[in-house]
Structures are given as C-alpha cells and as structure tokens.
Amino acid sequence: MLEVMEDMLQYREYMAQALELARKGAGWVDPNPLVGAVVVRDGEVLAAGYHDRYRGPHAERMAFDYADAHGIDLTGATVIDTLEPCCHVGSQPACTSLILAHGIARVVVGSVDPNPIVAGKGLSLLEEAGIEVVRDVMREECDAINRHFFHYITTGMPYIVDSRRRVGESDAEYAARRRGLYATYAAVLGARLPDRTERLDVSDDDFAHFDGPVQAIDADEVVIGRHKPLYLDVRALADADSDEWLRELGKRKIDSLIVESDEAFERLSTACQKD
C-alpha cells in the first residue's frame, strides 16, 4: 500500500508538470484539446511535449521525437498524459501506435477523451497490448483545462462565457479577465468591434490582443488555429434560431465564444457558462 501511495504522489507531481506544458497551447490548438505529456523512468524525466498548434504534432509525438533525436531509449518508461492518447490516424499518427513502438510499460492519464472516435478505446487498446494503464490522476484539473473542447466535442456547439463587467469588479480586475478570455477563446460576439481607446487604465501592451485577426467571418469561412479571437456582430443573430446559429459556428470549428453585449447575452443567456 505504501508503495502505491508513493507511486501516486509521483504521478501527481509529473501530471502537474504535464498540465503546465498543456496550458502553453491555449489559444493555439482550437478546436483541438490541450494536452501535455511527460515520459519518466526511475524518477528521471526522459522527455516531454505538448500540443502547441492546430494540426501540429501531438504531445506524445513531441516527446517521442525529442527522445528519438537524442538517442534516448524509452523502453520500460511511463508516459504521464493529461488526456487519453488518441488511437486513430488523422492529421497526425495515432499516439497509441507511437507508445507501443517505443516499448512504454505504463501510461498514466488524467482525462478520458470524450471524442466518440476515442472515448476509452485508446486506453483499452494499450491494456490489451499488455501496457499498464492508470486512470483519473488529477482528473478534475485535467478536465478543467479542456472545458471548451469537452463541451464542443459532445454538443457540436461552442462553449460560451459572459464577459460583461461583473458587479463589484474593479477596472484592473475587469481588464485582466477580458485579456485572459481574448487570449484563449476562438470568437467574440458583441455589438461593435473593440475600441482601442477603451483601455481601462492599462497600457497599449496589455491590449495588444486587439491587433491582428479580430474580424467578421463570412458564411464560408472555417476558423481554426487562431491565437486571437474573431469578432462576430450580434446582428448575425437577428433572424436566427440561437441553437441553429451556435451549431453553425460549431461546424466552422469555433469551439468557444465570448459574449460581450447585453443584447447578445439576452439571446444566449441559457447557454452561457461561468468562468
């Protein structure tokens, strides 16, 4: 029992490192999930990686590529993964195949991937191949970093948050919260384009996210892999059914949406989450 407890403490330590890595992809991997991976053996970190951009290498592949490039043998090592490894081939190879090819002995995961094409299949495949699987290590924390992805992949609609000023929120608190949202959400729904003179007593550098691709989208545009949000005019909702409109955004791969205006909030209030 003591050995199991010590193992779990180590797993949590390495999972915290994997979470820190995963967060580096925030705003860059949409509509894919944030994922971090750490490969360890005998108390030593051998390799690590994270998903850093849409259609880029997955976290596990980043770690394995590093090990391969530096001649590091991973036989018998443990992979600490914030999210279940994928078991299908898309724009990247299946991570389960890479794990098997590198002689990994154990895989420790935080979250199970809710994507129907994975959804436990990756872990089952590894177990069937004789790899030990440890589930649900820091699951709450691992689930939390992918709330956008989990909602989007299970509903087909973006995760929505109300970004209007809260009661009792200071200028500095409001500005900081908006900066955080603009840095990680895919789109903004408001009554007008953001006004660069609306500075809330902060510097130009603090609001640099208003530069670049903050724009309206047309009916045919697919939005992927942006690190700054697209601007959507609330008038687009005028004659639309709210759920159908949100599903259309989902089809365009908009996985998360900031609601800025009172008018927009009235239309979408039932779908808004608390962040």
Name the strands in the sheet holding 78-83, side by side, starting at the edge strand that comes first in the sequence.
44-50, 36-41, 78-83, 106-111, 132-134
CA-to-CA distance for 113 and 206, rounded, in angstroms?
A: 35
Active-site residue (options: 13, 20, 44, 60): 60
Contact (CB, 8 A) for 226 and 53: no
CA-to-CA distance for 38 and 29, rounded, in angstroms?
A: 19
**Catalytic site residue 6?**
no
200 three-state secondary structure:
coil
Residues in the chain: 275
Of 72, 134, 60, 133, the residue nearest 97 (C-alpha): 60
Distances (CA, A) of 214 to 136, 174, 189, 204, 228: 38, 20, 11, 16, 7
**Enzyme catalytic residues:** 60
